[in-house]
Structure 1
Amino acid sequence: MAIKMVAIDIDGTLINDQREITPRTVAAIKKASAAGVKIVLCTGRPMTGVRAYLNQLGLNDRDDEYVVSFNGALAQTTSKKVMVDDSISFNDYADWVNYCLKEGVHSQIETRDYIYTTNQDIGKYTIHESGLVSMPVRYRSLDEMARIQDQYVIAKAMMVDDKAVIDRAYADLPQELADRFSIVRSEDFYLEFMHKAVSKGSALKRLCEELNLTTTEVMALGNAQNDNSMIEFAGTGVAMGNSVPETLKVADDVTADNNHDGVAAAIEKYVF
């Protein structure tokens, strides 16, 4: 059956190591979009970190194109009509951030407008994330966060620290706390916590139901653990050549890496 939707991760997939979309990939995506194929950027980023790429691809401010952000917590048209919105409760966040403080691991949350951290000594990976997704950082104590909790929606929480620090904190995470979240590793220094129902795959499934598309009409491309759910959901799940081993295992096919037009190669192979 013909591919009618292509779901594409951003970091390590759509963009190369210089954070650029190569000309060949831009051309392949624009050709697919012009042919009526839905191009859905599926990312852990907030929308602030997606808009520039949507503009480059000619997909922004449209009622018929879609983005899945925050690893599936939010799905919307590129003209901002919300279709999926699953957030973390403040009570779950409070228990989680207290665990992070006890374990000595830097943490943050992302809303639609800001990154918030309870770490007065703001971690280097929070600063990195702020620049990556074009979102400002605000320091708030937990009691300050509690007082303004009705002013924001927690799309996702993140442990943001050196690999060894996160590995230790994750290994010791109480099962009762882990069971409240959907947890994915997007980088060695990022461990992401979302609402229990959230994944890229679940958001893509709900989007397909809305658009009356079957899984066989979907191709998904990614490179990391947080992409596995959508690669498994899609009828054609494609791993990038630079993928982590867990992602390579669940994919139907492997394309070139993100520095050698892997997305373009997959679109040319399966869409045209």
Structure 2
Amino acid sequence: MNIKMIACDLDGTLRPLSAEFSPRLKKVVTQVQESGIRFVLATGRMFRSAEPFARELGIRDAIICDQGGTIRDAHTNTILFEKRMPLELARDVLVHLPTDVAVLVCLDEEFYVPRLTDMERSFTESHQKHLHQIPDIATWLPKDPQKIAFVVEPDDAPALLANLRARYGDLAQVVRSHARFVELTHRDVSKGKAVEWLAQYWNIPREQVLAMGDQENDVSMIEWAGIGVAMGNAIAEAKAVAQFIALNDDQDGAAIAIEKFVLNGGV
């Protein structure tokens, strides 16, 4: 298979949680791009949070952010595609906020919270100057946000996910992006649709796209790509739609998979 485009999740795929990129991965990303293959970072993070990692890896092509709601040129930072959550829907979500969960409203690369708990602080520790407390956030919200993220204990995430899907499943994309994160975006947004958009933008056939990830929000792109790879540490839903299972994120699984399927041409 002559792969022309690679789309990879960040946390839990290219980068083990709370760890650094491996030298092997950095070398592989460089080799891939030098050979003319498009390399795309596909993450649920906002651009502000994702860009330093893309820069460290030397990614030159594109960054998919906000669960697929934003696509930026990695070289110029220009927005190539954007689809935000409708304002009235976002306000409704915020009016009906559960009282026992932390929430982050992501708007124009800033974080807004109705209450500032230790949980919000812990997940925005490196972005404190971009964190703003707005008590009456539903009334204040001035325009369409990129997304709304809920942060809960892992054991509480399935129930929250089910409740949000029951209420907003026809109106928004509701995904679990991390053991502790449940996120809402525009209903037509997903990593899979963003990868498809970029492939069409670059005139690359689906069969020549490889996508790799580990969480529920990666399922759409793993399923859409010509070669779909789930990490060894991936959830069952991601593994179920993948054609291949890589080693774990802390075993250089992503780098080894790219070497096998792209640089060495083996399927």
Query: What corresponds to 2:63 in structure 1?
Result: 67
Normalising by structure 1, we get a TM-score of 0.90
Partner of 1:170: 161
Q: 1:48 to 1:36 in 2, by over 3 A?
A: same
The change in CA–CA distance for 1:34 and 1:161 in structure 2 (over 3 A counts) is same
**Partner secondary structure for residue 97 of structure 2:** helix
Match of 2:121 in 1: 127
C-alpha offsets along residues 147-191 of structure 1, whole Å, 9 cap, x if unaligned?
Answer: 4504xx411111112234443333334735331110111122110
Gaps of 5+ in 1: none
Contact 1:5 1:217 in 2 (8 A): yes
Return the alpha-carbon distance in structure 2 between the equivalents of residues 176 and 244 of structure 1.
25
| Structure-2 separation of matches of 1:4 and 1:45 | 25
Q: Which residue is 1:13 aligned to?
A: 13
- SS, match of residue 259 in structure 1: helix
- Give the structure-2-normalised TM-score: 0.91
Assess if the C-alpha contact under 8 Å between 1:9 and 1:222 holds in 2: yes
Q: How does 1:70-149 map to 2 (within 5 A)?
A: 70-78=66-74, 79-101=76-98, 104-119=100-115, 122-131=116-125, 136-142=130-136, 146-147=139-140, 149=142
Measure, in 2, the Cα distance between the counterparts of 1:42 and 1:147: 30
2:51 equivalent in structure 1: 51
- CA distance in 1: counterparts of 2:219 and 2:127, whole angstroms: 22
SS of equivalent residue, structure 2 residue 12: helix
Aligned partners of 2:134 and 2:140 also within 8 Å: no
Aligned residue number for residue 197 of structure 1: 188
* Percentage identity across paired residues of the two chains: 27
How many pairs were matched up?
262
- Residue pair 1:237, 1:251 contacting (<8 A) in 2 also: yes
Output one character per residue of 1:191-210: Cα deviation in whole Å (capped at 9) or x when no partner.
01110000000011111111
Offset, 1:48: 1.6
Of 215, 237, 248, the match for 1:257: 248
